[in-house]
Amino acid sequence: MTPLVRSVRSADTLTRDALAVLQPGFTGTTAPDWLLRRLGEGLVSVGLFGRNVADPAQLAALTGRLRAEQEELIVAIDEEGGDVTRLEVRGGSSFPGNHALGAVDDTALTRAVARELGRRLADCGINLNWAPSADVNSNPGNPVIGVRSFGADPQLVARHTAAYVEGLQSAGVAACTKHFPGHGDTAVDSHHDLPRIAVDLATLQERELVPFRAAVAAGTRAVMSAHILLPALDGEHPATLSPAALHGLLRAPATEGGLGFDGLIVTDGMEMQAISATYGIERGSVLALAAGADAICVGGGLADEDIVLRLRDALVRAVRDGELPEQRLADAAARVRALAGRTRSADVGEGVAPAPGIGLTAARRALRLTAAGPYAPLAEPAYVAAFTPLANIAVGDETPWGVAAELARLLPGTETATCTAEAAAAAGTAALVDGLLTAAAGRRVVAVVRDVHRHPWMAEALSTLLAARPDTAVVEMGVPQAPPQGALHLATHGAARVCAQAAAEALTDQRLSPDE
């Protein structure tokens, strides 16, 4: 076949294949016209975010409209449960996150939670979930993983990752296990910069890769790459752009030290600074496809037609310029279409019995109480001091957290104050705490913290508060790495709404009825 004939034959095919490998987002709760047009031209994946979700009925109508244009369609969402929720972005999740499930360490419970979450996604027409996180939380200072991880033990993370994959996919929703080859040992958030993990290959095999092997064995349909640099694997390119990581390690057979994964490889969001600030989105997308990725995730930040056209044209141009093999693009597009066909909406979620209370049940089981002595349950309105860190981008600042709302349901009249690092720096710790105690006006105080071990200002403010009011109860809604403090210390292992419900029940010795 001559180059001329090949070019003519490939003109329309290249464009359709380039669109097929994109997983773009959009704004609004209805499908824009440009998105519907592109679905007719070859796009077969759409990514949803909290901005696209109002309620289950609206979401089902939205996905139905998309499938009216393209029946075999991947509708993906980043719904981890726990702190990272899109289905319940404005109210908080009905499911605890991974860290809570890891704390319980009951794989049957993890499987049941993931199955119920999958059922709800399927009911809304979603058939790919960018979850679970299989990262081993080996660095307690990690600013972006934390409670999104099942824990710090690779074997625990592995068995719960496998259970989660099995549960989610039993509801007909494909799992996308992330962030390969493991984002847990980073001190940098890849939304902002390029993390570097300086471990040797033996450590990678014995720690980070253990849960991913379990996910592959459990049949995960997709794996999401991480924008992290591992010099022991590839000294130049982050994993998303590294042939050694994707083609070599993830795809290579076990006999060659690889994972033997044959499903869909999805990139993490390409507009994240770890890629966009270093390579640019277009160049990064070309390199990712060339390295072995099959689907380009974009749309968390850039969510319009322009980015879709820019990436489409960049991929077509790269093939024509010889930078990206045409067969590599064709293979990637074929994998995307195969998953789209395998997860058709008609086959999703059928025969899955609802388990509406499973999230609160799991949150209650994850709660850990440490008392310094006898502690009388709260019986009157309390004062909640919420020491609030800056939310990472994955969690976002739109989703509420804390215990005040749930505590007020049991003790009407409960009030709350939000304390930040900026407020502590401006007023000084002593003045900040004095203000809290003045506002509390003699009421019992509940201090709510999130990863207190990572925030010196928070630790100082909490210690000052406890010195003044030793009867204060402390609720840690992040990773409970710091020693327990307070007259009563509650570790919820996450900030989901059901974790707050469980904590409020423990503080008052009352039960809230499940409202899922």
Cβ atoms within 10 Å of 68's Cβ, excluding its own:
12
Q: What φ, ψ does residue 502 adopt, rounded to 5°?
A: -60, -40
* CA-CA-CA-CA dihedral for 436, 438, 439, 442, to nearest 10: 110
Q: Return the sign of the alpha-carbon dihedral for residues 225, 167, 93, 174.
A: positive
- DSSP reduced 3-state for 39: helix
- 96-133 burial code (b ≥16 CB/10 A, e <16): bbbbbbbbbbbbebbbbbbbbbbbbbbbbbbbbbbbbb
Residues 6+ apart with CB under 8 A from 419: 385, 386, 387, 388, 432, 436, 461
The residue type found at 43 is L
DSSP single-letter state for residue 426: H
Q: Where are the beta strands (DSSP E) in 200-241?
A: 222-225
Q: What φ, ψ does residue 481 adopt, rounded to 5°?
A: -85, -35
Q: Are 245 and 186 a contacting pair, CB within 8 Å?
A: no
The residue type found at 189 is D
The helix (run of H) or strand (run of E) holding residue 69 is helix 56-69
Q: What φ, ψ does residue 304 adopt, rounded to 5°?
A: -135, 180
Report the catalytic residues. Answer: 191, 268
Measure CA of the first residue to CA of the last residue in the chain; give whole Å. Answer: 60
Q: How far apart are CA 292 and CA 313, in angstroms?
A: 19
DSSP single-letter state for residue 346: G
Q: How far apart are CA 70 and CA 91, in angstroms?
A: 31
- DSSP reduced 3-state for 9: helix
Exposed/middle/buried for 69, CB within 10 Å: 0-12, 13-18, 19+? middle
Cβ atoms within 10 Å of 350's Cβ, excluding its own:
9
Strands 296-297 and 415-419: unpaired
Q: How far apart are CA 215 and CA 57, in angstroms?
A: 32
